[in-house]
Amino acid sequence: MFPRPRTLLIAIVSLVTVVVAARADVPAPVPAVHQSEPFRQGVLVDTFGQWEIRKGLIDHTFLLIGASKGDGEGHFWLHCDQNNMITVAVPLLERPHDRVRSHAVTIHADTGPTRAMSLVVFEDFVAVAIDYDGGRNDKVADFLDVLRSAKDTVTISYSDHNFDYDVTQLQAAQSRFRELCSRPTRR
């Protein structure tokens, strides 16, 4: 039914596995700044203020990582491959009390658009929305639409936490990110 679901699942599992391995000896709760560190192992490609683009941990993948204003405690990232399949990931500051399968996350642009969504939870510490070949995920599209509509600030909220992100340099970062994601692979 889907042309390449196995490849996408392998990529997602590999990314989550790296974070799980990196966190194996760290007690909960873990500040979000530490949760994004395994994803910073990839080679830094470019920076745009609070945004950085890194090569992914799998060939021909890239990450656009955003750090929140102020103390940079909040993070989220977009992960893509050369087929422009996108994953949105929001590391959770603390593990949910129950073994939940989804977590409510709201994204709000300073220009007005707000989307409340329930994201899938992997390994109790990261909420994700996955785009895939042959299908459509409104959560990914909604998340990206709110990002695009913001002028100065985007706020991501979950539980009792609110994180503000400066998006004044996001357009340039997203342009570079899309360029890298759509490059054909060399064989």
Q: What are the residue boundaries of the structural domains of the chain, listed by start?
A: 5-181
Residues 16, 23: contact at Cβ < 8 Å?
A: no
User: Tens digits of per-residue pLDDT, 30-80?
Assistant: 444 444 465 567 899 999 999 999 999 888 899 999 999 987 788 999 999
- Torsional class of 60: left (φ above 0), alpha (ψ -120 to 50), beta (otherwise): left
Q: How many CB atoms lie within 10 A of CB 168?
A: 14
CATH class of 5-181: mainly beta
Q: At what angle do helices 138-149 and 170-181 cross, to 10 degrees?
A: 140
Tell me what pLDDT residue 156 has.
96
The pLDDT mean for the chain works out to 78
- Beta carbons within 8 Å of 26's beta carbon, 6+ residues apart: 34
Give 185's pLDDT tier (boundaries 50, 70, 90): low
For 37, 84, 108, 167, the CA distances from 105, given in Å and listed in that order, are 21, 23, 10, 19
Give 134's pLDDT tier (boundaries 50, 70, 90): low
pTM (2 decimals)?
Answer: 0.77
